[in-house]
Amino acid sequence: MDEDQPNASRAAGVFLAFLRQGLTAFGGPVAHLAYFRRDFVERRKWLDERDFADLLALSQFLPGPASSQLGMAIGRRRAGVLGMLAAWIGFTLPAAAAMIALAYVTPWLGSAFGGGWRQGLKIAAAAVVAQALVAMARQLARGPIRAGMAIGGAAGLIVAHGGPAAQVLALAAGAAFGWALLKEPPPETPNLSTRPAAGPAAFACLAAFAALLAALPFAAAALREPLLGMASVFYRTGALVFGGGHVVLPLLQSEVVGRGWLDRDTFVAGYGAAQALPGPLFSFAGFVGAAQTVGPGGWIGGLVAVTAIFLPSLLLVPGLLPFWDRLKMAPEARGAAQGLNAVVVGLLAAALWDPVLTSAIRRPGDWALLAAAYVFLAVARLPPWLVVVGFAVATGFLA
C-alpha cells in the first residue's frame, strides 16, 4: 500500500489481511507468530525483522494472548487505532463465531451422537495442554530458581484447589521473587522506529485498564446484572493471563466452573474443540459466554465474553507501546516478567491435573488414548486440529 493512503483505507487492508490469518492460521500461538512473520515481514513488507522482533517482545511481556497482541501492534503501526481494531476483529472473528455456534449445537450433538465425541475432545485437550506444558517448562522454567517457582506454584494451587484468589497470589509472588532474584541485563540497543510518542491517549488507555480492573467487580455486585458480571470475570481473566493462550484454561476454569456457570466436562470439551480452530485460543471465551445463555440471546453472552477478555489487550498495547523502550531496559521489570512466566508454568501444570486429567481420565484405557494423542502431537507432529477432530470422531464411533 502507498504510505500516503489514509488510515481508514489502510485499516480495510489490515482487516482483510488478518481475516485471512483468522481463517487459515491453525496450530496455536507459536504457529501464529510464524504465519505473521511470513505474511507481514516477508510478503507484504509492512515492517522489517527488527521491528517485528521488537513488537513480539512487547506482546510476550504483556498479559494476554501474545499472538493477538502482536497482531494488534502490527495493525496499530500500519493504520493507527483503526488498524489495531481491524487486526483484532479480522483475526478473532472466524474462531469466535465458530465457538459461539458450537455452544448452540453442543446439546444437539449430545443427543445425536452420545457422549463419546466429548470424551475424545477431552482426551485431545489433555494431550494439547501436556504438550504446551512441556514446551513452556523448557523455555520459561529453566534453572533451579525458575523450576522451583514453577513446582511451588503448581503444588500450592493443587493443595489449595485453585481459585481466583490463590492464582492471583501465586502470580504476585512470582513477580516479587522475579523482581528480587531474576534481574536480567537489558537487551541490545532498543529500536525506536516502532514507537509512537507518548501522549494523553496512552495515559488514558492505562488509566482505563486499571479503572476497569478495579471497578467492574464492584459494579457487577452492586447492579446484579448477569452480563456485567460475565464481563467482569472475562476482563479480569484477560488482564491476568501471562504466558499465552493455554494459560487462559486455569484462570477461566476457576472462575467459570467454580461459579457453576458450566459443568467441568462441558468446559474441557469446549476447550478441546477450540484447538481444532484457526485463530486465537481466547476465542474459547465465546463458547463459555454463549453456553451459559443458549437461546435467542446466547450469542450476546458470547460477544460480551469475547470482547471483555480481549479488552485489556486493546488498552495495554496502545498504552504501553510508547514506553516500551524504557521499560524493557529495566532489569527489575524483566526479572518480574521472568518470575511471572515461571509461575505460569505451575498454573498450567495445576490445570492439567484439575480439571483436565480429572475430567478426561475415567478408566485405564483413557491413559492409553492420552499417550497416543500426545505421541501424535509431540512425536509425529500432526496438527492439533487433526488430532482433536480425529479423536472426537473415533471415540464417538467407539461409544
- Rounded-to-integer distance, Cα 185 and Cα 161, Å: 37
Per-residue pLDDT at 192: 46
Q: Three-class SS of residue 117?
A: helix
C-alpha cell belonging to residue 258: 467454580
C-alpha cell belonging to residue 224: 446484579
What is the rounded end-to-end Cα distance, in angstroms, of the chain?
A: 54
Cβ(35)–Cβ(25) under 8 Å?
yes
Burial environment of residue 31 by CB neighbours within 10 A (0 to 12, 13 to 18, 19 or more):
middle
Cβ(121)–Cβ(273) under 8 Å?
yes
Please give the angle made by the CA atoms of 278, 281 and 283, to the nearest 5 degrees: 90
Please give the angle made by the CA atoms of 376, 377 and 383, to the nearest 5 degrees: 105
Burial environment of residue 337 by CB neighbours within 10 A (0 to 12, 13 to 18, 19 or more):
buried
pLDDT higher than threshold 60 for residue 3:
no
Q: Of 81-90, 156-165, 371-380, where does mean pLDDT reach its minimum?
A: 156-165
Write down the residue that cell numbers 517485528 correspond to: 52
pLDDT: which is higher, 123 or 244: 123
256-278 b/e (C-beta count within 10 Å ≥ 16 → b): bbeeebbebbbbbbbbbbbbbbb
pLDDT: which is higher, 328 or 378: 378
CA atoms in the 13 A half-sphere facing the CB of 121: 21
- Rounded-to-integer distance, Cα 298 and Cα 286, Å: 10
Please give the angle made by the CA atoms of 283, 285 and 286, to the nearest 5 degrees: 75
Strands (E), 72-114: none
Burial environment of residue 37 by CB neighbours within 10 A (0 to 12, 13 to 18, 19 or more):
middle
Q: What does the pLDDT average to over 110-128?
A: 76
Side chain identity at residue 142, one-letter code: R
Per-residue pLDDT at 1: 42
pLDDT higher than threshold 60 for residue 328:
yes
Rg for the chain, CA atoms, rounded: 20
Percent of the chain predicted with pLDDT > 70:
90
Cβ(213)–Cβ(236) under 8 Å?
yes
Please give the angle made by the CA atoms of 7, 11 and 15, to the nearest 5 degrees: 175
**Residues whose CB is less than 8 angstroms from the CB of residue 2 and which lie 6 or more positions away in sequence, other chains included:** none
Dihedral sign, Cα of residue 121, residue 271, residue 290, residue 233: positive
Mean pLDDT rounded to a whole number for the chain: 85
- Rounded-to-integer distance, Cα 369 and Cα 374, Å: 9
Burial environment of residue 308 by CB neighbours within 10 A (0 to 12, 13 to 18, 19 or more):
buried
C-alpha cell belonging to residue 91: 483475526
Q: For residue 247, how many other CB atoms are within 10 A of its CB?
A: 26
Q: What is the pLDDT of residues 312-326, one digit of tens each?
A: 999 999 999 888 877
pLDDT higher than threshold 50 for residue 36:
yes
pLDDT confidence of 76, banded at 50, 70, 90? very high
Q: What does the pLDDT average to over 53-65?
A: 84
Q: According to DSSP H, which parts of 114-142 are helical?
A: 116-140
**Residues whose CB is less than 8 angstroms from the CB of residue 218 and which lie 6 or more positions away in sequence, other chains included:** none
